[in-house]
Amino acid sequence: MLCGKMPNSRFNHQVRSLRITKLCNSKDIVTINGMFPGPVVYAQEDDTVIVRVSNLSPYNATIHWHGVRQRLSCWFDGPSYITQCPIQAGDTFTYNFTLVQQKGTLFWHAHISWLRATVHGAIVVHPKSGVPYPFIFPYQEHVIILGEYWLRDIPRLEQAVLASGGPPPPADAFTINGHPGPNYNCSTNDVYDVVAVPGKTYLLRLINAALNMEVFFAIADHKFTIVEADAEYTKPFTTDHVMIGPGQTLGVLVTADQPIGTYSMSMGPYMSARNVLFQNTTAIAYFRYLGALPSSLALPASLPSFNNNLAVKTVMDGLRSLNPAVDVPKQIDADLFVTIGLNVNLCHSRTPQQNCRGPNGGVFAASMNNISFIKPKISLLEAYYRRISGYYTEDFPGLPLEFYDFVNGAPNNSPNDTQSLVGTRTKVVEYGTRVQLIFQDTGTVTTENHPMHLHGYSFYVVGYGIGNYDPKTANFNLVDPPYMNTIGVPVGGWAAIRFVADNPGVWFMHCHLDIHLSWGLGVVFIVKDGKGELESLPHPPADLPRC
Ligand code: C2O
């Protein structure tokens, strides 16, 4: 670069309340700049993004830049009590990070309690000027954010659910860019639509910002082609549906090549767990051809049924990196095996009717290697950086404490044998460690597809399968595995990821279903500094919030 100065993209984000009316009900929601979904953060590859976040809401807040790899900028990652204390009401914090070699679709969201339900928006990173997409140049691009909407106030709902020890209630509606569409009460006109010019090709940037639901997406009578997943190009894969878990993003191309008309874009549930109450309805947006009569009936899209695991697998099988993955680690230094799943803990409340509404009078929990993560009272990154002891331990085990048939032989006599251990345990790794991690779903309470997300890195998804992981029979793809930041671990199955731990800091890894995160399905990696400035975490910013 000639002038030696990085191009900047600057934004002002005000966290504030907005009164909205949906489904015939009004309530106050927390937003950024009074927008729902929030404003799109547009940038280019290698841009430095500077976002001043002022908290004008009554709640503590932080913003996480989901999928941004935060090279040497862990202080700006955003998960509350992991890399920073919350921005308190009335305070301001400026996030500053660079999109090093990143382009595509990501998103930002609040990373504290369940505020993410309404505090979220897209990050769209275009290639550098003059660099084309590796696919046909779309006539237009549209951000399509899939969400869940509750009539109840979100902070109160969260408090009530966590105090109950029981499961969360289903959302009252699914939404597409904030609009539920005609299947819901009072929503005939509360519909998002994309106007399509016949013959043109559109890039849809799909983002699942829902709190607790994995979902299917389909467009009536149109196939579409996946060209990007988690902001990394993929080999083009054409399908008529996708499953997308919370935390995942997909770029898909769709061509308006059907007779002029109005076509539904539909979002419906994927529920792989058993005995869970969920919202079994469909949010609809329109893909409306120019020239279609406004009164013309929208053609319905057919979504896979809510428990169609095969429909999930077919798309997963189709996800391949566009180019050969030359940097996928072939040798492994740290080989981790981590079970993921639910627990039911014993009731210790004097008012079990109110507080122990999990199975058999127990309290729901979730865990990794049977340890439920407890959020600390201060920022772990600060505790680590300033060597403040007493807030976390370094003994997260690289293997389960006990081996058994995780999928079919899981303990289920709840709450007697389904307890988890609790703690703020971390896994410490040296700079440059080549990590392989196997996620193994367990059948305690129920097997379920979990969208596992890692902060600070993308990882190669080198393998996955059904049942218990067996190194002797597992098939790995070290040629063109997809490079992702969130992986839906197959229900009753496993997934293997690989990455090189070359970004120093404190990085959260957790299930992106918020209820599971609240129940403890998370762990923290501490990646130590390497040698010299380019391998070490810089000093914290001066305006870092205090707890
Ligand atoms: Cu998008 Cu820690 O999450």
**Average pLDDT along the chain:** 97
pLDDT in tens, 271-282: 999 999 999 999
pLDDT in tens, 335-377: 999 999 999 999 999 999 999 999 999 999 999 999 999 999 9
pLDDT in tens, 82-93: 999 999 999 999
pLDDT of 3 > 60? The answer is no
H-run or E-run covering 316:
helix 309-318
Mean pLDDT, residues 69-82: 98
| Whether residue 508 has its Cβ less than 6 Å from ligand 1 | yes
Determine the Cα–Cα distance for residues 376 and 457; give it in Å rounded to an integer. Answer: 23
pLDDT in tens, 132-175: 999 999 999 999 999 999 999 999 999 999 999 999 999 999 99
Burial 125-163 (b: 16+ CB within 10 A, else e): beeeeeeebebeebeeebbbbbbbbbeeebeebbeebbe
Q: How confident is the model at residue 296 (pLDDT cuts 50, 70, 90)?
A: confident
pLDDT of 508 > 80? The answer is yes
- Ligand 1 centroid–CA 54 distance in Å is 20
- Ligand 1 centroid–CA 154 distance in Å is 18
- Give the pLDDT of residue 8: 83
Q: How confident is the model at residue 16 (pLDDT cuts 50, 70, 90)?
A: very high
- Ligand 1 centroid–CA 510 distance in Å is 8
Q: How confident is the model at residue 294 (pLDDT cuts 50, 70, 90)?
A: confident
Half-sphere exposure of 508 (CA within 13 A, CB side): 31
Mean pLDDT, residues 55-82: 98
| Whether residue 516 has its Cβ less than 6 Å from ligand 1 | no
pLDDT in tens, 180-189: 999 999 999 9
Q: Are 109 and 116 in contact (CB under 8 A)?
A: yes
pLDDT of 1 > 50? The answer is no
Pick the atom of ligand 1 nearest to 455's CA. Answer: 2
- Ligand 1 centroid–CA 107 distance in Å is 10
Collapsing DSSP to helix, strand or coil, 61 comes out as strand
pLDDT of 398 > 70? The answer is yes
- Give the pLDDT of residue 351: 97
pLDDT in tens, 414-425: 999 999 999 999
Determine the Cα–Cα distance for residues 408 and 475; give it in Å rounded to an integer. Answer: 21
| Whether residue 13 has its Cβ less than 6 Å from ligand 1 | no
Q: Which pTM value belongs to this model?
A: 0.97
Share of the chain above pLDDT 70, in %: 99
- Ligand 1 centroid–CA 111 distance in Å is 7
pLDDT in tens, 209-256: 999 999 999 999 999 999 999 999 999 999 999 999 999 999 999 999
Pick the atom of ligand 1 nearest to 510's CA. Answer: 2
* Closest Cα to atom 1 of ligand 1: 66
- Give the pLDDT of residue 5: 53
| Whether residue 263 has its Cβ less than 6 Å from ligand 1 | no
| Whether residue 455 has its Cβ less than 6 Å from ligand 1 | yes
pLDDT in tens, 90-113: 999 999 999 999 999 999 999 999
| Whether residue 425 has its Cβ less than 6 Å from ligand 1 | no
* Closest Cα to atom 3 of ligand 1: 66
Residue-by-residue DSSP string for 343-412? EEEPP--S-HHHH--SGGG-EEEEEETTEEE---SS-HHHHHHTT--SS-BS---SS-SS-S-TTTS---
Q: Which residue has the higher pLDDT, 1 or 161?
A: 161
- Ligand 1 centroid–CA 512 distance in Å is 6
| Whether residue 116 has its Cβ less than 6 Å from ligand 1 | no
